[in-house]
Amino acid sequence: MDYGKHYSVMKSDVIQLLRDNFPIDGNFNFSDLTFGAGGHTCEIAHLYNNAHVYSFDQDPEAIENGKSRLVKEGLEKRVHLIHSNFTFFEESLPSGLLLDAVLLDAGVSSHQFDKAERGFSFRFDAPLDMRMNPSVGASAADLLNGMTASELEGIFREYGEEKFSKQISQAIVDFRKTKRIETTKELENICFHAYPKKLRHGKIHPATKTFQALRIKVNDEIKVLEDVIGQVIPRLALNGIFMVISFHSLEDRVFKRGFKDWKEEAYPIEILTKKPLLPTEKEIFENSRSRSAKLRVIRRVKDWPSKNKYPRKE
């Protein structure tokens, strides 16, 4: 798989935020929760050449690719790749380490979408897998074949905001009477025929929202975002910043509410983006995937109120 042509979303905004807040010749501890193709990590590690970087990815392919990229770019001594879900953030970092900046660029990478065998996309006919880490948890096919119509309907409605959740989940259950659903194309077809005839050829394909919902469920994407906020904030150094890039309203809502909630709990954080930063028209033109991106940032502004080094919200 070619990781070479990856376009990192809102990279220049992220770099500008860092430059505005941290001198490039100082000591700098950074963590990238979503290494992906390494676009953000490597740019930041080159810019801050004293930086120590801790980059997570749960996808074994991203880690394998990352190892050789880091060696090629001479960064392997300062960038520590951690093959783990970032839900294990706190326990994966050296104890006592405080971070000047943390970045989370949510969701799946274009490589995951574009590699047929990963089963994320109905552009290809492939087994329905959708796990970012294929050796952990149930595949999309296992979930689809194991859930009741009302469970499926709830997932499609909650994570896909799909208007025809009921029709699609009923069609899935009907299909299963003859055989298990195994492939992306089978699910695409089911969604297509579950839609009212006159809406089947609209701007958005009838399977789009169902695929999104299923992917979010398979990887528990909303829950891990909720969990990680409470692990990152206590690890921020004084004046440390946490930057998050989201791609749909469900993700953005987690950050918007989560940050507000932590601030109200008297945690010494400041929300730097009352409104999220958005990509420029130029970026959207160059990379259409960035069109729905939103960047929110918080900063730790004071010492923790307690003697405990890493106070955790109960």
Ligand X SMILES: C[S@@+](CC[C@H](N)C(=O)[O-])C[C@H]1O[C@@H](n2cnc3c(N)ncnc32)[C@H](O)[C@@H]1O
Q: Which residues bind ligand X (CB under 6 A)?
A: 6, 8, 34, 36-40, 56-59, 62, 85-87, 105, 107-109, 132, 224
Alpha carbons 117 and 294: distance in angstroms, whole number: 29
Crossing angle (nearest 10°) for helices 221-232 and 208-218: 50
- Tell me 127's DSSP state: B
CB nearer to ligand X: pick between 25 and 91:
91
Residues in the chain: 314
Looking at beta carbons, which residue is closest to ligand X?
36
Would you state the structure tokens that stand for residue 93, as one six-digit string?
A: 């970092």
Residue 106 C-beta: closest distance to ligand X, Å: 7
Give Cα 24 to chain centroid, integer Å.
27
CB nearer to ligand X: pick between 173 and 278:
278
CB nearer to ligand X: pick between 171 and 233:
233
CB nearer to ligand X: pick between 15 and 149:
15
Residue 2 C-beta: closest distance to ligand X, Å: 13
Alpha carbons 291 and 230: distance in angstroms, whole number: 28
CB nearer to ligand X: pick between 187 and 224:
224
Residue 247 C-beta: closest distance to ligand X, Å: 8
Residue 136 C-beta: closest distance to ligand X, Å: 10
Tell me how crowded residue 299 is: count the other CB atoms within 10 A of its CB.
19
φ, ψ of residue 238 in degrees (nearest 5): -55, 130
Residue 289 C-beta: closest distance to ligand X, Å: 9
φ, ψ of residue 284 in degrees (nearest 5): -65, -40
